[in-house]
C-alpha cells in the first residue's frame, strides 16, 4: 500500500494553483447521462473519484475519454446498461448521482445501495423519497436500489435537512420532467449552482439556485452545450490556506473564488492570519504572532464546511490556547483526532464536539488516514511535526486531491510517496 513519508517542520513559500472541484465534476459527469449529444468538461481534476465516475459511465455504456490535459469528453448516446454495480458504488458514494438521470432516460435503473462510511451513517433517504415524488417506484432488494419510472411528474419536495447530494440529484432528475418542481430547504453550495448553470445552458429553466428554494421547469430533451469549465475546488484552496498559515509561511493561492471560501478565510483571520484577497487569488502572509484558538461549528454553506474541519483541527492542535470544534453535519467525523493525538496533540472528543488544547509542538509518528479530509489534516500536521511522519492509507487522499504532494513539495514540503 502507498504511504507518505513527511519530514518536518517546514515553512511553505511560493505559489500554488488550485484544481477543478471534485464535488462539482462528479455530478456534472452524471448529468451527461441526461444529454443526447457528447459533452465536454475542462479543468477536470485527475483524482481517483473522477476515474471512478469515468469507469462507472463506461460500465453503463458511455464513451468517455480524456482529450487533453484536464479535458474530458463524454458521449452518453451509447449508454445501454442502467446498472451501477456494488464494486463501483462502494468506492464512491457519489455514484448515487446516476440513479435519477438513468431513470429519466431508460425508465428504470439499478444502483447499489451505498453503505456507511468512516465518519458514520450516510443515508440516501432524501434522494429516494424525492425520486418517488417525481414519479419513481423504488424497491430495495439484495443491496440494490431498483427504480422504475411510473409517471414522471413535477413535485414540491421539502428536505428535512440541507443535502448537497439530494439537491443536485433531484434538480438533475427534474430537468427532464416537463413540469414544475420546487425544491425547498435546498442546499446552497457552489457545486449546486454550477450544476444548475450547466442544466440552464442545456435549456432547462431553473430559478433560485444558490438560495434555499430552487424551481425547475424541465424539458423533454436537453440541448447541446459548449464545453463547461469546472469551478475551482474550494476545499483544496482552503487546505492550502491553512497549510500556509500553520507552517508560518507565505503562499499565493491562484485560481480560487474567494466568496466560496469565505468561512475559511474568516476563521483564519480570526486566528490571526493576514490574508490579501485579490480577484481570483489569495495571499497568506507570513505569520507574525501565535495561532489563536477558535470556536468552529460546521454547517451547510455558507456556514463553515465540514470538509475543512479536520485541517483546522491539525492547525489548532498547536494554537495558543483551547479551541472547540462542533460538528453540525457528521457528529462522528473525528477519526483524525485520534491520529493527531499520536502526533502529540491534546484533543478530547465527546458528543460531536472536539476540545483541542494547543500544545507547543507536534512530533512525527506513524499514523493512518481514515477518510479524504482526515488524510489532508494528517499531511498538514506532518508538515509541522518534528521528525518523520509516516501516513498509511493515502489512497483516501488520492480520491480528492490532485498532485497534493507535488504541489506541497513545490512550496518547500518534504513529502515522499513510497510502497510499504
Mark out the alpha helices in 32-113 (DSSP H runs).
48-60, 86-89, 99-106
Strand-pairing partners, residue 66, are 72
Q: Of the ranges 58-66, 124-132, 206-214, 219-227, which one interacts with ligand UD1 (CB under 6 A)?
A: 124-132
93 is in an annotated binding site: yes
Q: Can residue 26 be called a binding residue for ligand UD1 (CB under 6 A)?
A: yes
The interface mask with ligand UD1, positions 306-325, x = CB under 6 A, is xx------------------
Q: Can residue 52 be called a binding residue for ligand UD1 (CB under 6 A)?
A: no
Q: Can residue 336 be called a binding residue for ligand UD1 (CB under 6 A)?
A: no
In the set 12, 164, 367, 383, which binds ligand UD1 (CB under 6 A)?
Answer: 164
DSSP string, 300-369: STTSB-GGGHHHHHHHHTTSSSEEEEE-SS-TT--HHHHHHHHTT-EEEEETTEEEEE--S--B--EEE-
In the set 163, 173, 194, 311, which binds ligand UD1 (CB under 6 A)?
Answer: 163
Q: Can residue 334 be called a binding residue for ligand UD1 (CB under 6 A)?
A: no
Which grid cell sits at 264?
475559511
What is the distance between the alpha carbons of residues 263 and 180, in angstroms, rounded to a whole number? 34
In the set 310, 315, 329, 413, which binds ligand UD1 (CB under 6 A)?
Answer: 329
Nearer to ligand UD1, 56 or 251 (CB): 56
Smallest separation (angstroms) from ligand UD1 to the CB of 283: 27
> If DSSP codes are grouped into helix, strand and coil, which group holds residue 288?
coil
Q: In the range 202-241, which residues lie near ligand UD1 by CB under 6 A?
A: none
> If DSSP codes are grouped into helix, strand and coil, which group holds residue 60?
helix
In the set 6, 9, 23, 377, which binds ligand UD1 (CB under 6 A)?
Answer: 23
Q: Can residue 127 be called a binding residue for ligand UD1 (CB under 6 A)?
A: yes
Closest CA relative to residue 110, chosen from 72, 79, 134, 139: 139
Q: Can residue 74 be called a binding residue for ligand UD1 (CB under 6 A)?
A: no
Q: Count residues binding ligand UD1 (CB under 6 A).
A: 22
23 is in an annotated binding site: yes
Closest CA relative to residue 359, chosen from 410, 409, 304, 314: 314
346 is in an annotated binding site: no
Give, in order, the Cα–Cα distances in Å from 360 to each of 294, 318, 417: 16, 6, 28
Nearer to ligand UD1, 119 or 245 (CB): 119
409 is in an annotated binding site: no
Q: Choosing from 117, 138, 277, 359, which is the catalytic residue?
A: 117
256 has catalytic annotation: no
Q: Of the ranges 62-70, 160-168, 239-247, 261-269, which one interacts with ligand UD1 (CB under 6 A)?
A: 160-168
Contact 317, 339 (CB under 8 A): no
59 is in an annotated binding site: no
Give, in order, the Cα–Cα distances in Å from 275 to each of 80, 169, 203, 239, 410: 51, 36, 40, 14, 21
Q: In the range 170-189, which residues lie near ligand UD1 by CB under 6 A?
A: 187
Contact 181, 134 (CB under 8 A): yes
What is the distance between the alpha carbons of residues 274 and 258, in angstroms, rounded to a whole number? 15
What is the distance between the alpha carbons of residues 198 and 214, in angstroms, rounded to a whole number? 15
Active site residues: 117
Which residue ranges make up the annotated binding site for UDP-N-acetyl-alpha-D-glucosamine? 93, 307, 329
Which residue ranges make up the annotated binding site for phosphoenolpyruvate? 22-23
Q: Residues interacting with ligand UD1, by CB under 6 A?
A: 23, 26, 93-94, 122-127, 161, 163-166, 187, 191, 305-307, 329-330
Which residue ranges make up the annotated binding site? 22-23, 93, 307, 329
Amino acid at each position: 500500500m502507498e504511504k507518505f513519508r513527511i519530514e518536518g517542520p517546514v515553512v511553505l513559500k511560493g505559489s500554488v494553483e488550485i484544481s477543478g472541484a471534485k464535488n462539482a465534476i462528479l455530478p456534472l459527469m452524471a448529468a451527461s447521462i441526461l444529454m443526447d449529444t457528447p459533452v465536454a468538461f475542462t479543468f477536470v481534476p485527475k483524482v481517483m473519484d473522477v476515474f471512478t465516475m469515468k469507469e462507472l459511465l463506461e460500465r453503463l455504456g458511455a464513451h468517455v475519454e480524456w482529450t487533453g490535459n484536464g479535458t474530458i469528453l463524454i458521449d452518453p448516446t451509447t449508454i445501454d446498461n442502467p446498472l451501477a454495480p456494488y464494486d463501483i458504488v462502494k468506492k464512491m458514494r457519489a455514484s448515487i448521482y446516476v440513479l435519477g438521470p438513468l431513470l429519466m432516460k431508460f425508465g428504470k435503473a439499478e444502483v447499489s445501495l451505498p453503505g456507511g462510511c468512516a465518519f458514520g451513517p450516510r443515508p440516501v433517504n432524501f434522494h429516494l423519497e424525492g425520486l418517488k415524488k417525481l414519479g419513481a417506484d423504488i424497491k430495495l432488494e439484495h443491496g440494490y436500489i431498483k427504480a422504475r419510472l411510473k409517471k414522471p411528474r413535477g413535485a414540491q419536495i421539502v428536505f428535512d435537512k440541507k443535502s448537497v447530494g439530494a439537491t443536485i440529484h433531484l434538480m438533475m432528475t427534474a430537468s427532464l420532467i416537463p413540469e414544475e418542481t420546487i425544491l425547498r430547504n435546498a442546499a446552497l453550495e457552489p457545486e449546486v449552482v454550477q450544476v444548475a448553470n450547466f442544466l440552464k445552458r442545456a435549456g432547462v429553466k431553473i430559478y433560485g439556485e444558490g438560495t434555499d428554494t430552487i424551481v425547475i421547469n424541465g424539458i423533454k430533451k436537453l440541448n447541446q452545450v459548449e464545453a463547461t469549465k469546472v469551478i475551482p475546488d474550494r476545499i483544496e484552496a482552503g487546505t492550502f490556506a491553512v497549510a500556509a498559515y500553520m507552517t508560518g509561511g507565505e503562499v499565493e493561492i491562484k485560481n480560487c473564488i474567494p466568496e466560496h471560501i469565505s468561512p475559511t478565510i474568516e476563521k483564519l483571520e480570526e486566528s490571526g492570519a493576514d490574508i490579501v484577497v485579490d480577484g481570483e487569488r489569495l495571499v497568506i502572509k507570513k505569520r507574525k504572532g501565535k495561532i489563536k484558538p477558535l470556536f468552529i461549528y460546521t454547517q451547510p454553506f455558507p456556514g463553515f464546511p465540514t470538509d475543512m474541519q479536520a485541517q483546522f483541527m491539525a492547525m489548532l492542535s498547536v494554537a495558543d490556547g483551547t479551541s472547540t470544534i462542533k460538528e453540525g453535519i457528521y457528529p462522528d467525523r473525528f477519526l483524525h483526532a485520534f491520529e493527531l493525538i499520536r502526533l502529540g496533540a491534546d484533543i478530547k472528543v465527546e458528543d460531536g464536539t472536539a476540545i483541542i488544547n494547543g500544545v507547543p509542538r507536534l512530533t512525527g509518528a506513524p499514523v493512518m488516514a481514515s477518510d479524504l479530509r482526515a488524510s489532508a489534516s494528517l499531511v498538514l500536521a506532518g508538515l509541522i511535526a518534528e521528525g518523520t511522519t509516516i501516513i498509511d492509507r493515502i489512497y483516501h487522499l488520492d480520491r480528492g486531491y490532485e498532485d497534493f504532494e507535488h504541489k506541497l513539495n513545490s512550496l518547500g514540503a518534504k513529502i515522499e510517496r513510497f510502497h510499504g
